[in-house]
A and B are shown apart, each in its own frame.
Chain A
Amino acid sequence: MRWLLRTIKRKSKGNVSHVDETYEGGVLSIGRSAGQGLFLSDLRVALEHARIRPLKANRFRIESLIASGIRVDGSLEQAAGIGPGSVIEIGQNHLTLVKPPAGYDGAIEISEIVRKDDKAGAQYTNRAFTLKQTKLSKRGLSWILFAVLITTALAIPIAGHFIPGMSGKLRAMPVPDDGQWSAGTLQAAHHFFGEDCSTCHTKAFQMVKNEACEACHSVTPDHADADKFGLPELTETRCAFCHKDHNGLDGLVRTDQKLCQDCHTNLDERSNQKTTLRNAADFDTNHPEFSVELAGWDAEGNYTPRVEPLNSDLLVEDSNLKFPHDVHLDPSGLSAPSGKRVLNCDSCHVAEPGGAKMEPVDFETMCQDCHQLAFDQQAPGRQVVHGKVSEVLYMLDEFYANKALTGGYEDVAAPAVVRQRRRPGARLNRSESQEALAWARGKARRVGQSLFEGQACSVCHTVNQVTNGGDISWSVEPVRVAGHWYKKAVFTHQKHLTMNCVECHAAESSSSSDDVLMPDIANCRSCHGGEHSRNKLASTCISCHVYHIPASQP
């Protein structure tokens, strides 16, 4: 085994010279004592510091003979495999293994370690003393972060918007898409299309247009006729002026009072007195008395409801029905065929499904128990229909004609042919028939008169006698109550079930159906206040009114 040991000397001005030595032996010992294969005079080298033994061609193993070890390729080792290219540091010496030239089995270049700083503490100063000397780099980190963020948060979503079909692909993949731009949760109803931003944000750098909203909300009516009232802003305003999405699950509908106040505080002036509405600004402090819709008819008998404020002198209900609530609500009960019966509000007034309005009162199921339409003592079970006058009269005609022709009707005022009992199928002669039917017609008219004018119909209805070509008949005034009293407000009984009916409707003390039993604003104000109310239920305009008013409610 032949070692070439080449000592490199650095001279001034960067010149280099070298001295070659040859060592013959199996193991190359390194140290500061005499007899070492490679002698290093440095005090930092132990007398016997290390040895290099060959493994195979160009592969060696270096072993430290002292505890402090040796630095091989930068790391401190007790032993390591080395070959050409390996750098060993011992004390101030740099040993570089090189490819052995011809005739040698191993070659080492020995040079003194060149420190970055040839001044004090040279032994330490080739280590980093400041952060700047480390691999940490502000600039590098900055560029990386900037590039990553601009790419993922800006470039990719923008590309997704402009390249057809790309945004869908992005959303399907676990990569950043334009969803990261969403400023907040969408309104619940918008979630089903919310992933696709371009449903609403159709064009870049343009505010969401009304057309985007109207794609679904095509039947949403305007607030009022902009031309009629000279208020063009009613139709020119963007939907999104009020409806700002990305504000939470139920943040899309404006419920603030200010929305309405802006115009309705002085709507009369604003609309140049073209409105029939009165000014309003706050439910508690600035709201007119309620108006109710009352049934009414014009001269031709067409249904023409009228609107009256609840504090009007003209507030009389004209339903053509006679009904004293106080009598019916007698707490000691009413004498019914089945005995005493106490009626409650819900005996007659049943809320519609949904609870907004009341079902119509039904005579057959609610009244007829007591108000029976019987007409003949000999047939106590028979009642006339609760229907048209002609039907009642026709029914009476039929009933008495049958009785007269069948015979056996016990009435002292009736002719003998009517009273006479006959065998079934027995025939009357012509004059007998005429006599019987004449009686029947007369009887039916008398009973009819009694029903319409006396014991039955006129109890509740306004009945007029009319003469029709010598024959008498009757007409009943049409009955109608306002189904929807507060036309411009939304009210539901469902939300007021904790109240008793009589707390709002003074039915117990009402003796006439002329009375309007709808509660006034003072009644509502006992619980409801304006938007800023502190001791009442804060209610804004939208609590009772709507903005987009359907055309059926002018």
Chain B
Amino acid sequence: MHESFLTYARYRWLWVGLLLMAASLIAYIIHDPFDGPNGGTWLGYTLGTVGALLIFWLTWFGLRKRTYSASSALRGWLSAHVFLGTSLILIATLHTGFQFGLNIHTLAYTLMVLVILSGFFGVFVYLRFPNLITRNRSNTSRESMLEEIDALDQEALSLSDKLGPKVHGMVLRSIENTRIGGGVWSQLTAKDGAQKALDTTREMLDKLKDQGPKTQEMPTMFAMVDFLADAGGDDADKLRSLMDMLQRKKTLSSKVSKDIQYQALMEIWLYVHVPMTVALLAALIAHIVSVFFYW
């Protein structure tokens, strides 16, 4: 049975995290400082120290992860990272004593919350997406799907060349409009243009059809093909198989785009998590230094 990083060592780190949270909460409830709960009481300093050490240690995980490849050790570390990181929300909140304001201290807190929330997203995609990716690829690889797309393109081009320059131009345009991958937004939204390419093809067929009698309201693509191919049965077959190819290509390119999208979503949160962590480190240093600078 596969052991996920959440269940690692029978939820060892979940328990450690819960214990840490419970201890902090109980101390906070019992502690009754005369000036109200705040970061400057003995408990405030204690929670702050624990929180800061946790932040430094959790950040160190990011550095450590690069040098680790053994999955078991890494899983334990990741498990600790997730659960202790989650406990940080409570520890840091209690450290603030619920005193928030427009200052460097609350900025550090906000950055920390952003880091943790983005981490939650990371946990979600790590748990959910590997399955989705496997299902989407349906026993093939991105590489072989791309190979097939390439082959389909070549085939479609040579077939359309026989159907005349108009159809060739149409297919060329369809190929041109299919854009797999690309910028951040394209990867995240999986907009590969395949649907647009297919739509454009239909539109162009529609235009060609307009030159003939206007009989049907919303003719299917294949009906149009039949109409266009009235002239000769051979061409109709070619057109049909051309449309089949384009349809097949569309399905494939959507899959590849989806594959890229899943992978991008599995990575994109790190583009918040990591820079925000570094920003948090800066804010945390400023927070700690400033507190003792103006003691």
Contact = CB atoms under 8 A, between A and B. Distances in A.
Contact of A67 (B204, B270, B295): B204
A161 B154 CA distance: 71
Contacts of A67: 169-170, 173, 204
Contacts of A185: 101
B290 A247 contact: no
A120 B141 CA distance: 11
Contacts of B73: none
Q: Which of A47, A48, A183, A256 has the most CB of B within 10 A?
A: A183
A172 interface: no
A120 B165 contact: no
Contacts of A146: 278-279, 281-282
Nearest to A140: B275
B279 A142 contact: yes
User: What class of interface size applies to chain B in its complex with A?
Assistant: 35 or more
Given A131-B268, A136-B271, A254-B35, A153 B40 contact: no
Interface in A423-449: none
Interface in B224-274: 256, 260, 263-264, 267-268, 270-271, 274
B173 A68 contact: yes
Q: Which of A128, A129, A184, A204 has the most CB of B within 10 A?
A: A129
Q: Which of A68, A132, A178 has the most CB of B within 10 A?
A: A68
A181 B146 contact: no
B293 A204 contact: yes
A46 B290 contact: no
Interface string B2-19: 000000000000000000
Interface stretch (B21-29, B83-91, B180-188): B180-188
A489 interface: no
A244 interface: yes
A74 interface: no
B292 A205 contact: yes
A136 B184 contact: yes
B179 A127 contact: yes
B146 A125 contact: yes
B10 to A, nearest CB: 33
Contacts of A132: 267
A206 B295 CA distance: 6
B101 A181 contact: no
B116 interface: no
B51 to A, nearest CB: 16
Interface residues of A, number: 62
Contacts of B263: 130
Contacts of B286: 149-150, 153-154
Nearest to A198: B294
Contacts of B278: 142-143, 145-146
B285 interface: yes
Contact of B172 (A68, A142, A182, A254): A68
A205 B39 contact: no
B271 A120 contact: no
A130 B264 contact: yes
Nearest to A46: B169
B289 A131 contact: no
29 contacts: A44-B175, A67-B169, A120-B146, A121-B180, A123-B150, A123-B153, A124-B179, A127-B180, A131-B267, A131-B268, A134-B187, A135-B183, A136-B184, A146-B281, A149-B282, A153-B283, A154-B286, A158-B289, A178-B290, A181-B104, A181-B293, A183-B101, A183-B103, A201-B293, A205-B295, A206-B295, A208-B295, A244-B40, A247-B35
Interface of A: 43-44, 46-48, 66-69, 76, 119-125, 127-132, 134-136, 138, 141-146, 149-150, 153-154, 157-158, 161, 178, 180-185, 197, 201, 204-208, 242, 244, 247, 251, 254, 256, 258-259
Interface of B: 34-36, 38-40, 99, 101-105, 107, 143-147, 149-150, 153-154, 157-158, 161, 165, 168-170, 172-184, 187, 204, 256, 260, 263-264, 267-268, 270-271, 274-279, 281-283, 285-286, 289-295
Given A68-B173, A208-B295, 8 more contacts: A130-B263, A135-B183, A154-B289, A158-B289, A184-B101, A205-B292, A205-B295, A206-B295
